[in-house]
Amino acid sequence: MKIAFLVAPEGTEQIELTEPWQAVTETGDTPSLLSTESGRIQAFNHLDKADTFPVDQRVGEASVDDFGALVLPGGVANPDLLRTDERAVAFVRSFFEAGKPVAAICHAPWTLVEADVLSGRTLTSWPSLRTDIRNAGGIWVDERVRICANGPNTLITSRKPDDLTAFAAAFTEVFAKAPGR
């Protein structure tokens, strides 16, 4: 199954991209890096520039039909940039409309807030997003990983890089049971 990883051109927390990417690869699925611009994205280790990664496809040219699931890595700047791009927000929303699983870590739920897909859903995130999630109709909890199967798709969320092992285990298990496998 092909898994979309959606990130902004810069600001992605590198470990929140690379560890989930590796987890997807280890399951035999195929990760694909999407961004709002072509070329390469600039990842960060907190506030310091880290590595760059090649973009496989621009989000405006991608279709939810080509992917079985979506992963949204965090980093403060990454989701803040994504939520201002209408194509990125529409792409995220389309996974919920299609009933496909979505995984988001750390600050990534900001993009979910903008996509207006959190009403009635229980999720976790970096603690500073708590009020934004509640204002968007979501129920915020402080847990390493939260799996919410409210509605036709499943949302898997996690708080921070320290939770990556649990996050990867949870989302790969959910993705393995995704419809159309």
Structure confidence by residue, pLDDT tens digits, 112-147: 999 999 999 999 999 999 999 999 999 999 999 999
Q: Per-domain residue ranges for the chain? A: 2-176
Question: Does pLDDT of 27 surpass 80?
Answer: yes
* Active-site pick, 77, 100, 101, 107: 107
Question: Does pLDDT of 32 surpass 80?
Answer: yes
Question: Does pLDDT of 151 surpass 80?
Answer: no
Please give the single-letter amino acid code of residue 6: L
CA triplet 141, 22, 30: central angle to 5 degrees? 105
46 is a catalytic site residue: no
Gyration radius of the chain's alpha carbons: 14
Task: Report the DSSP pairing between strands 48-54 and 10-13.
Answer: unpaired
pTM (predicted TM-score): 0.98
Average of per-residue pLDDT across 60-64: 97
Q: Does domain 2-176 have CATH number 3.40.630.20?
A: no
Eight-state DSSP code of residue 132: H
Average of per-residue pLDDT across 69-84: 97
The confidence score (pLDDT) of residue 57 equals 98
**CA–CA dist 35, 42 (Å, integer):** 11
Q: E strands, 118-154, where? A: 122-123, 139-140, 145-148
Over residues 85-101, the pLDDT tens digits come to: 999 999 999 999 999 99
Identify whether the C-beta of residue 146 lies closer than 8 Å to the C-beta of residue 156. Answer: yes
